[in-house]
Structure 1
Amino acid sequence: MNRLTQKLLLSFFFLLVGLSFGIQISQFVENWLFTEAGHYGNESLIELFNYFSLAITGFVMAVVLGAGVIYLARKKQQEIGFGEHGELYYEVFRESLNAQFLVCENGTLYAVSQGFCGQLEVQEEDLTAVGLKGLIDERSFERFMLWQSEGEDFEQLSFKLSNFEGKQKELVVSLNHTHLAGVYLGQLVDVDKQSELQKQHELLAITLSSVGDGVICTDINNRITFMNPVAEAVLALLTDEVKGQDFEEVVPLYQEDSKEPIDDPMRQSMTELQTVCLNELICFRNHLGLDFAIEVCCSPIFLRGDKIAGAVLVFQDVTESRLLRKKMNHLAHHDALTGLPNRLLLQDRLVQSCKRAKRHKHQFALIFLDLNKFKAINDSLGHDNGDELLKQVAKRLTASIRACDTVSRIGGDEFVLLIDSMEDRRHVRLVVDKVFQASGGHYELRATQVNVSFSAGVALYPDDGENADSLMKSADTAMYRAKKVGHSNYQFYCPELDKEAELYLEKETAMIKALHQKAFLAHFQPILNAQTLVIEKLEVLARWQCGDELIVAEQFVDVAESAGINGHLSMYVFELAIPQFVIWLERYPDLQLCLNLSIKHLLNGMFSEQLMALLDKHQLKPQQFELEIAEQPLLERADELKATLDSLRQQGFHLAIDDFGVGHTNPSLLRELHFDSIKIDPSFINEIGGAEHQDDLAMVMINIAKSLGVNCIAEGVECEMQAKALAANGCDQLQGHFFSKPVPSSEVDLLLEKSFKQSGEP
C-alpha cells in the first residue's frame, strides 16, 4: 500500500469520526435549544436545522482531528530524524539502491531501502514486520546488542540470516550511529566487491613496490605523501621520514651541466593541469651528498569532478647509463690510446673554427705532424713500447700549445694541431719551432732511450682553404712534401704542391697505361767477384721506355707502389728476364740472377707460388736466384716477414739485404733472419777515397759480414781505387758503373764473354 492510499483512507476515517461526533453534538444542541425556546412544534424548521448543524459540526470535527493527527505524525518524524521534510527524505531513503536500513536499539527496522530489499530478495513489508531480530539468528543479534553496549562508533559485523523464506546466507553489515540516540544506520557490505578492491589495492601496492622506476606522490600543498622502495633507496630515506615535508626540500633538482636549480615540476604539473616531462639533463643530490642523474615525468592526480588531490613524480635513475653514454661519446670522439680528440672531433672543431674565423676575420693554422721512423721503433721495440711512445708524445704536444688550441691524433703516428687566432706566418713558425723543440728529442721507454723527430705540414685559413676539407688536404700535402725534403722539417702549403700532386697522379695514370702497352724493359747489371773480376751474378733492373726517354727504376718505383701496380710490374719484368737468363745459363751454368722484391711482394700470399710457377715453366731451380729486399722496409716489418723469408730459404732461394747500413740493422736480427748476402749502400762506397777515416763505415760493414759469415757485396763502385780498396779489405763482390751500367739483354752476351775471356775461363 503506497502513501497516497494511506492518506485517502485516513482522511475518510477522520470524516466518519467527525460526522459521528457531529450527529451527537447536533442532537444535544437540538434538545437543549428547542426545549428551552419551546419551538418543537415546527418540524420543518427543526429538520433544516438538524442538517445544517450536522454538516457544520462534522466538517469542523474532521478538520480538527485530521490536523491533530498530522501534527502528531510530523512531530514523531522529526523526533526520529527525518526533519521538517521527513516525508520527502523518507521516500528518498526507501527508493535508494544502496543496501541500507535504519534500525532502532531494540531491533525494530524503521526504514529499509529498495537496494536492501533487492539484495536480500525480501519484500519491504516482510522486513519491517520481523525487524532485525527476526531477520538474523540469535547469536548475530547478540553481537548487535553487544556492539551497542560497548558504545563503539563504527563497526563491521558479520550476521547470519535466519531461515527466512527458505533463504539463508551470511551478510557483512557496517553499523554507525546517527545523531539520534537509539537509532543506527546499517549498510550491507559487498564482500566480493570489497575483496576485489582490496586485491586491487594490494596489487597496486605491489606494483609500485616492484616497478623499477622511483615514484613520489605529494598532496596539493606539494608535501610528500608516498614513496616507493626505489625512491626510498635513491633518497636514502624512508617514507615515514619525509612524509609531510616539502618536495623541493627533499628532492632538490638541478641542471647537470650548469648546476643551476630548476623549477619544481610537481608544482608546474598541478598549475598547468598536465603532464610535465623534463627532457634536459636533470640531477639531484640526496642528503648523503650522492648525485644521481634522472629522467623525470610529473602528472597531476585528479579526483572526481576534475578536483586535484596532488601530483605524482615518476623518475628513472639513469646515472650509469648516462655515464656509459658519456663514455661512449668520449670514445667516439677521442683516441682510445692517447685520449686526444680523434678525426671526427677534429673535423667538428675545424668546421667551428672556420665559422668563427670568418665571423671575426682572423686566421688560424692547421699543422699535420708525422713521427719520423716510428714504424721502425714500433717493430724493433715492440708494440707496447710504440704505444707508450705515442702517449708520451701526446702529453708533450698538449703541454706545448695553449689550452684554447687542439691536439688530435688521426692515425697511427699522425697528429694534427689546430692553432687558433694566428697573426701571420712568423707566428706560426714560432709555434712549430716550439712544438719541435718541446716534443722532439729523447724519450725513455722501459729503460730504452729513443730519439724522436717530426715532419710537419702547415695550412693557413683562409689562404690555403676556406673549409675543413680543403685545409686538411692542404696540410696533408705540405706534410708529405716535408717528409720528402728531409727529416725534422716542416713545410707551408703552396699551390705548387697541388701541381706536384697532379703531376704525380698523371704519372700514375701513365704508368698503368704503359704496363698495359708493355712499355717496360728488363736491363741487367753485372756483379763481379772482387778478386777475379769475373761476372758471377746479374741483377735485373726495370726500365720505362717513355717515348724517346728511358726512365730508371728509382724515378718510378714509388709511383708504382702508390698506384698499386708494383707487383704486376715486377712479375712482368721477371717474365722478360728469365727466358734470357735460361739462354745464358747454357754457356755459364754457375751464373745467378738477382731479383729485387718489395715488402708487398713478400706479404702477398700468392707471390711465392707465382714465382715458383715461372721457374717451373723454364725448368729452373731456386738455388739459381738471389732475392734482394731493401733494408729499411725490412726493418719495419721484420716480424711479419720472418715466416715468408724462412719459407723462401727452405725452397732454396738465396736472400740478400739491399741498401745495407741505411736502416742500422741489428746484427742479431741478421742472424735470426738467415740472410746470405748484404749489399752495402752506395752512399758509403762514395766516401771511400775522400777525407781521412771517411771509408771506415764501409770497412766496418765488411767486417760485420765476415763476423756473420755472409757474402758482402759493394754496390755503387765508381772507380778503380774504390774497387781495389774494397777487395783489399775482404769484400766478396763488386757492382757499379765502373764495371758496367745496367744494359739491355742484347749487350749482356758481350759483357759475359769479355769477363770470362779475361779470366781465362771458356
Structure 2
Amino acid sequence: MNRLTQKLLLSVFFLLVGLSFGVQISQFIENWIFTEVGQYGNESLIELFNYFSLGIIGFVMAIVLGGGVIYFARKKQQEIGFGEHGELYYEVFRECLTAQFLVCENGTLYAVSQGLCKQLRTSEEKLVELGLKGLIDESSFEKFIRWQKEGDDFAQLSFRPLHATQNQEEFIVSINHTHLQGVFLGQLVDVAKQSELQKQHELLAITLSSVGDGVICTDIDNKITFMNPVAEAVLALLSDEVKGKAFQEIMPLFHEDSKEPINDPMQQSMQELQTVCLSELICFRNHLSLDFAIEVCCSPIFIRGDKIAGAVLVFQDVTESRLMRKRMNHLAHHDALTGLPNRLLLQDRLVQSCKRAKRHKHQFALIFLDLNKFKAINDSLGHDSGDELLKQVAKRLTASIRACDTVSRIGGDEFVLLIDSMDDRKHVRHVVEKIFHASSGDYDLRATQVNVSFSAGVALYPEDGENADILMKSADTAMYRAKKVGHSNYQFYCAELDKEAELYLEKETAMIKALREKAFLPYFQPILNAQTLVIEKIEVLARWQHQDELIAAEQFVDVAESAGINGHLSMYVFELAIPQFVEWLKDYPHLQMCLNLSIKHLLNSMFTEQLMTLLNTYQLSPQQFELEIAERPLLERADELKATLNALSDLGFSLAIDDFGLGHTNPSLLKELHFDSIKIDPSFINEIGGAEHQDDLALVMINIAKSLGVNCIAEGVECDIQATTLASHGCDQLQGHLFSLPVPGTKVDELLGQSFSIK
C-alpha cells in the first residue's frame, strides 16, 4: 500500500468518525433547544435543523479529529522519522545504495535502503515485515536489547542470512545511535568483502612500508596524513609526530646551488590536477640540520572520479649518487693528482675566452709551461716525490695568478695558464716573469731539496690564433723553442716558428725513412797521442747519406732524439763500425774505439745488454771501447745515471765526458762518477793562439784533468800552434781537422799507417 492510498483511507476514516460524533452532538442540541423553546412539535423545522447541524458539526468534528490525529502523527514522525522534510528525506534514504536501515527500540524496521534490499536480494516490504529480529539470530537480538539499556555507543551483531546457500555469505550488522530518540542506524557489512578490503589495505600498508622511496601523503589542506618508514628515517620524525602539520613546515625544499626556496610541489599538483616532477637539484634540511639531495614527484589523489582528496609525494634520497656524480664530473674535468682543470675543461674555458674576447674586443694570453729536468727528478727520487713536486708546483702556480685566470695540468709535467684580459706584450712579459719568480727555485720533497726551473711558450689572442686549437698549437710551438734556447726561458710565438716546426717534422719523417732504408753510415776520426802523434783511438761518427748530400751528425742528432730513433740509429751505426774495428785490431791491437752515447741510451735498461751481445758476437772486450757522454745532459740527470755509469765502468768500459766546459761540471762530481777522460769542447780550443790570455780556460781544464788524474783530450784542433800549446801544457790526446777529417772506413787503414808531425 503506497502513501497516497494510506492518506485517502485515513481521510475517509476521519470523516466517518466526525459524522458519527456529529450525529450524537446534533441529537443532544436538538433535544435541548426544542424542549426549552417549546418548539418540539414542529417537524419540518426540526428536520431542517437536524440536517444543518449534522453537516456543520460533523464537518467540524472531522477536521478537529483528523487534524489532531495528523498533528500527533506528525509529531511522532518527527520524533522517530526524518524531521520537517520527512517525505523528501525518506525517499532519499530509501534510494541509498549502501546497505542501511533505521530500526526502532522494539526492532521494527522504520526504513530500509535499496542497497540493503539488493544486498539481501529481498523486497522492502518483506524486510519491514521481518524486522530486525528476522535479520539477526536470537542471541544477537537480546544483545541489541541489552545494548540499548546499557547505553553503549556502538555494537556489532552477527547476521543470520535469510536464504542459506552452499557458499553462505557472512555478514555483520553494525548498530549506532542517531540524534533521534529511540531510533538507531544499522548497516550491513559483508565480512568477506571487508576482509578482502582489509587485506588490500594491509598489503598497501606493507607495500608503502617496504618501498625504497620516501612516501608522504597530505589532505586537501596540505596537512600530512601519512609517512612511510623511509620518509620517517630521512626526516628523523615519526608519522604521529607530523600528522596534521603543514608539509612545507616539515619538509621545506630548496635549490642545491642557489639555496633559494622552492614552491610547494604538493600544493602545485593539487592546483594543476596533474603530476609534478621537479627536475632541478632539489634538497631539504631536516630538523637535525642534515641536508639531503632528493628527486621529487608529486601527484594529486582523486576519490569518486574527479574529487581531490589530497596529494602524495614520492621522493628518492640521491645524496650519495649525486655526490658520486659530482665526483665523477670533477674527475672528468680535473687532474686527479693536482686537482687542477684538465685538458677537457681547459679547452672549454679557452673556447669561452675566445668568444668573450671577440665580443669585448680584448686580448688574452695562453702560456704553455714545462718543468725542466722533471723526468730526472721523477726517476731518481721516485714517483712519489715526482707527484709531490707536481702538487707543490700547482699550488705555487695557482697562487701566482688572479682568481679569474686558469691553471691547468694537461699531462706529465706540462701546465697551461690562461691569463685573461691582457693589455699588451709588456703586460704579458710581466706576468710570465712573475710566474717564473714565484714558481722556480727550491722545493722540499720529504728529506730532499730540488731546484726547479721552467720553459714557457706564450701565444696571444687574436694575434697568434683566433680559436682554441690554433692558440694551443702556437703556445706549444713557442714552448719547444724556449726549451731549445735554454732552461728557465720563455718565448713568444711567431710565424717563423711554424715554418721551423714544419721543416723539423719533415726532417723527422725523412730520418725515419732513411733508417728504414739504411741510409746512415759510420765515419771515423782519429785521436792521437799529444806527444808521439800516434793514433790511439778511433771515434765513430754517424753520417746521413741524404740524396747527394752527406749530413754530419751535429745537424740531425737532435731531430733523431725527438723522433725517438736515436737509440736504433746509434746501434745500427755501431753494428756497421765494429766489424771494421775487428779488422783494424789485427794490425793495431792496442787501438780503442770511441762510441757516442745519448742519455736515452743510458736510461734504456736494454742498451747495456744489447751492446754486450754485439761485443760478444765479435769476441771483443769492453776495455777496447770508450763511451762518450755529453756534459750538459749528463749534469741534468747525473743522479739517475750514476748506477748505469758505475755498471758500465765495472764491466771495463772507459768513460769520457764530451764537450767538457759547456756545463760547468763540479770537479767533485767527476770524482764521484768515475770518468776516465774529459774532452775539452772545441770552442775553448779555438781561443788558443788568439789575444793574450784567451787560451787560459783550455789550460785550466788541462790542469783540472791532471788534478783528478784523468785523461785529457783536446777536440777541434785546427792548427799547429793549438797542438803545440796543448801538448806543452800536458794535454794527453789531440783530435781535429789538423790531423784528419772524419773519413769512411775504407780510408782508416791509410790513416793508421800514416805518420803525423807538427811544424
Q: 1:165 to 1:484 in 2, by over 3 A?
A: closer
1:317-466 equivalences under 5 Å are: 317-466=317-466
**Equivalent position of 1:720 in the other structure:** 723
The 3-state SS of whatever aligns with 1:491 is: strand
Give 1:43's aligned residue.
none
Q: 3-state DSSP class of the match of 1:433? A: helix
Q: Which residue in the other structure is 1:473 paired with?
A: 473
Q: Which moved further from structure 2: 432-441 or 591-600?
A: 591-600
Structure 2 stretches lacking a partner, 5+ long: 24-40, 44-58, 689-693
Cα separation, partners in 2 of 1:735 and 1:691, compared to 1, 3 Å: closer
**Aligned in 2, Cα 1:129/1:160: closer, same or farther, shift over 3 Å?**
same
CA contact (8 A) 1:282 1:294 kept: yes
The answer to whether residue 631 in structure 2 is matched with residue 628 in structure 1 is: no
Distance 2:586 2:213 in 1: 90
- Kept in 2, the 8 Å contact 1:160–1:169? The answer is no
Paired residue type of 2:715: G
Which residue of structure 1 aligns with residue 153 of structure 2?
153
After superposition, give the CA deviation of every residue in 1:337-376 in whole Å (9 maximum; x if it has no partner): 3332222222222111111111111121222222222322
Shift in Å, 1:240: 4.1
Cα distance per residue 1:290-349 (max 9 Å; x no partner): 433333333333333423233333333333333333333233222233332222222222
Change (3 A) 1:130 1:463: closer
Which residues in structure 2 correspond to 1:118-157 (within 5 Å)?
A: 131-155=131-155, 157=156
Counterpart CA distance in 1 for 2:260 and 2:90 is 64
User: Is it true that 1:744 corresponds to 2:744 in the alignment?
Assistant: yes
Contact preservation (8 Å) 2:671, 2:708: no
| Inter-partner Cα distance in structure 2 for 1:282 and 1:663 | 63
**Conserved in 2, the CA contact under 8 Å of 1:682 and 1:714?**
no
Residue identity matched to 2:508: E
Q: Is the 8 A contact 1:688 1:695 kept in 2?
A: no
Between 1:469-478 and 1:545-554, the stretch displaced more is 545-554
Which one-letter code corresponds to 1:538 in the other structure? I
Relative to structure 1, is the Cα distance of residues 564 and 508 closer, same or farther in structure 2, using a 3 angstrom cutoff? Answer: same
Query: Does the 8 Å contact 2:99/2:114 carry over to 1?
Result: yes
Query: CA separation in 1, counterparts of 2:523 and 2:645?
Result: 26
After TM superposition, the structure 1 = structure 2 runs for residues 481-560 of structure 1, keeping only pairs within 5 Å, are 481-515=481-515, 518-528=518-528, 534-560=534-560
Tell me the SS of whatever aligns to 2:261: coil
How high is the TM-score relative to the length of structure 2? 0.77
1:533-576 CA-partner distances (Å, limit 9, x unpaired):
65444332111233554321121012123334434433443343
Letter in 2 for 1:327: R
CA pair 192-670 structure 1, distance change in 2 beyond 3 A: farther
CA contact (8 A) 1:685 1:695 kept: no
SS at match of 1:455: strand
- C-alpha distance in structure 1 between counterparts of 2:746 and 2:442, whole Å: 54
In the alignment, which residue of structure 2 is the partner of 1:754? 754
Using a 3 Å threshold, how does the CA distance of structure 1 residues 331 and 92 change in structure 2: closer, same or farther? closer
Percentage of matched positions with identical amino acids: 71
Read off the aligned partner of 1:520 and give its amino acid letter: F
| CA pair 84-250 structure 1, distance change in 2 beyond 3 A | closer
Q: How far off is 1:477 after superposition?
A: 1.2
After TM superposition, give the deviation of residue 749 of structure 1 in Å.
0.2
Would the aligned equivalents of 2:80 and 2:181 in 1 still touch at CA under 8 Å? no
1:295 is matched with 295
Q: Find the counterpart in structure 2 of residue 53 from structure 1.
A: none
| Aligned positions of 1:124-273 closer than 5 A | 131-155=131-155, 157-159=156-158, 161=160, 171-273=171-273
Contact 1:654 1:676 in 2 (8 A): no
Q: Residue 41 of structure 1 corresponds to which residue in structure 2?
A: none
2:409–2:415: 8 Å Cα contact kept in structure 1?
yes
Separation (CA, whole Å) in 1 of partners of 2:204 and 2:340: 51
User: C-alpha offsets along residues 562-620 of structure 1, whole Å, 9 cap, x if unaligned?
Assistant: 3344344334433432342333233334544444444555677887787677667x744
Task: Tell whether the 8 Å contact from 2:685 to 2:715 is kept in structure 1 after alignment.
Answer: yes
In 1: Cα distance, 2:451 partner to 2:183 partner: 107
Which residue in 2 is equivalent to 1:659?
658
Superposed CA RMSD in Å reads 4.9
Q: Does 1:682 find its partner at 2:685?
A: no
Amino acid at match of 2:182: G
TM-score between the two structures when normalised by the length of structure 1: 0.77
Aligned amino acid, residue 557 of structure 1: V
Whole-angstrom CA distance in 2 between matches of 1:282 and 1:166: 60
Query: 2-side partners of 1:403 and 1:207: how far apart?
Result: 53
* Counterpart-to-counterpart distance in 2, 1:517 and 1:405: 50
Task: State the match for 2:104 in structure 1.
Answer: 104
Deviation at 1:464, TM superposition (A): 1.0
For residues 127 and 407 of structure 1, do their structure 2 counterparts lie closer, same or farther at Cα, with a shift above 3 Å needed? closer
Written as runs of structure 1 = structure 2, the 5 A alignment for 1:553-592 is 553-592=553-592
- Structure 2 SS opposite 1:465: coil
- Per mean C-alpha deviation after superposition, the further-off stretch among 548-557 and 257-266 is 257-266
In structure 2, what is the Cα distance between the partners aligned to 1:380 and 1:391?
A: 18
CA apart distance, 1:518: 4.4
For the 8 Å contact 2:82–2:89, the answer to whether it is kept is yes
Q: Distance in 1 between matches of 2:587 and 2:188?
A: 128
Task: Note closer, same or farther for the CA distance 1:717–1:304 as it changes in structure 2 (3 Å cut).
Answer: same
Change (3 A) 1:665 1:235: farther
Structure 2 contact 591–624 (Cα < 8 Å) conserved: no
**Contact 1:137/1:162 (CA < 8 Å) preserved in 2?**
no
Q: Give 1:457 deviation, angstroms.
A: 1.6
How many residues are paired up?
707
- Please list the CA deviations of residues 115-137 of structure 1 after superposition, one character each: whole Å capped at 9, or x if unmatched: 54665577877765554335543
Amino acid at match of 1:285: R
Residue type of the alignment partner of 1:477: T
Matched to 1:106, the amino acid is N
Q: Which moved more, 1:366-375 or 1:109-118?
A: 109-118
Offset at 1:190? Answer: 2.0
**3-state secondary structure, aligned to 2:496:** helix
**Distance apart, 1:461 and its partner CA:** 1.2
SS in 1 for 2:487: coil
Query: Which of 500-509 and 178-187 deviates more?
Result: 178-187
- Residue aligned with 1:335, SS: coil
The one-letter amino acid of 2:201's match is H
- CA displacement 1:694-721 (0-9 Å, x = unmatched): 6555654665576xxxxx5636263435
Contact 2:275–2:297, Cα closer than 8 Å, also in 1:
yes
Contact 1:283/1:293, CA 8 A, preserved across alignment: yes
Matches of 2:634 and 2:207, distance apart in 1: 69
